[in-house]
Amino acid sequence: MELSRWMDSRLPEVVKALEESIRPSIDVANEDGLDLAGRNEIYEILDEILAVLFPGSFSKEKVGKDEVNFFLADALRHISFRMGKHIREVYKYRCKLDNCETCNCEKKANDALMHLIESLPDIRATLMEDIQAAFDGDPAARYIDEIVLSYPCVEAIATYRIAHLLYELQVPIIPRIMSERAHSSTGIDIHPGAVIGPRFFIDHGTGVVIGETCRIGRNVKLYQGVTLGALSPFDKDGVPKKGQKRHPDIEDDVIIYANATILGGDTVIGKGAIIGGNTWIIKSVPAGAHVYNKVRNGDQPNTTDKAG
């Protein structure tokens, strides 16, 4: 069949079928919620917030010391206007899905926006601890600004700390959009629901996955390919385990080397433990333990193994 005849005879059927599928959801998915354009604007707003946190590294233009106050005031007003609009939209979207008739979406959105903006100094202070941990923990790091400008963990962790605050405020959709943007650009996937302490460093970073119910303490260091995941996301009947603790806890001062996989909501890696590369862990590890894969070719690794 010629293309022109096909377009005249068959294309209307395709259009009709798609229209029938799309129409029932278009009121909540497009008119009241975030569409593709809204998602892209969230990306832009995230870039603006990162520029406020690190003007010399993430801003599109150079900002001199005498210009910082003007830059921050102008940027935060712009962020507040744009972000406030989207927070209101997603609250209304969620209320409509939940058939909520008593929600004050306007007030909730304004409160969330104000809390985010007022929390930015604290977020920056925590990020500076993270960056210092990267400098202290990486012999290849020569300068602090080198870390901010070139280490993918800075963008990933900064995005996480912004998204986590919004997640705790129960802002729908936006935290996940932010975290997936960081995942796409850095290869580091941190769910905004995870709770992560200060001085957090991810060396190299590609392939790191941190699940929603993870709790990570202070001064923890991960290498590339580490997975902190769920032992099984489903119960015995195949139903997703939503609302349950599914991911491990990592206590203070732990180091987890490349491609280690740690799974399960009951799994705890004790304070000061060292987890070797390519390990598979589904049970808790005591404080101070060294866990590793034994060499199988007869060579004996040099290790102090408290875990056995």
pLDDT at 65: 82
Average pLDDT over residues 138-164: 96
Residue 297 has pLDDT above 80, yes or no: no
Q: Encode pLDDT of 105-128 as tens digits.
A: 888 999 999 999 999 999 999 999
As a whole number of angstroms, the distance between CA 78 and CA 59 comes to: 14
**pTM, 2 dp:** 0.86
Q: Encode pLDDT of 14-54 as tens digits.
A: 888 888 887 776 554 444 556 767 899 999 999 999 999 99
When mean pLDDT is compared across 17-26, 39-48, 160-169, 191-200, the lowest value belongs to 17-26
Mean pLDDT of the chain: 89
Residues with Cβ within 8 Å of residue 65, at least 6 apart in sequence: none
Enter the DSSP assignment of 29.
Answer: I
Name the CATH code of domain 207-308 (choices 2.160.10.10, 3.40.50.1980, 2.60.120.10, 1.10.10.10): 2.160.10.10
Q: What is the dihedral of CA 182, 188, 194, 200, to 10 degrees?
A: -110
pLDDT at 305: 55
Task: Band the pLDDT of 301: cuts 50, 70, 90.
Answer: very low
The residue type of 68 is V
pLDDT at 118: 95
As a whole number of angstroms, the distance between CA 82 and CA 69 comes to: 20
pLDDT at 134: 97
Question: Residue 234 phi/psi, 5° resolution?
Answer: -125, 155
Going from the C-alpha of 52 to that of each of 62, 66, 222, the distances in angstroms are 12, 15, 27
Structure tokens at 72: 């921050």
Q: Which CATH architecture is the domain 17-184 placed in?
A: Orthogonal Bundle (1.10)
Nearest to 80 by CA among 109, 53, 108: 109
Average pLDDT over residues 74-86: 93
- Report the phi/psi class of residue 83: left, alpha or beta, with left for phi > 0 and alpha for psi in -120 to 50: alpha
Residues with Cβ within 8 Å of residue 221, at least 6 apart in sequence: 133, 137, 201, 202, 203, 254, 255, 256
pLDDT at 104: 83
When mean pLDDT is compared across 95-99, 193-197, 198-202, the lowest value belongs to 95-99
Going from the C-alpha of 104 to that of each of 82, 91, 94, 110, 240, the distances in angstroms are 20, 9, 12, 10, 31
Q: Specify whether the CB–CB gap between 87 and 76 falls below 8 A.
A: no
Q: What percent of the chain has pLDDT above 90?
A: 65
Angle at CA of residue 147, ends 144 and 149, nearest 5°: 110
Residue 306 has pLDDT above 70, yes or no: no
In the chain, CATH 1.10.3130.10 sits at 17-184
Q: Encode pLDDT of 210-266 as tens digits.
A: 999 999 999 999 999 999 999 887 777 788 778 889 999 999 999 999 999 999 999
208/100: higher pLDDT: 208
> What is the residue whose two structure tokens read 């001199």?
64
- Gyration radius of the chain over CA positions: 23
In the chain, CATH 2.160.10.10 sits at 207-308
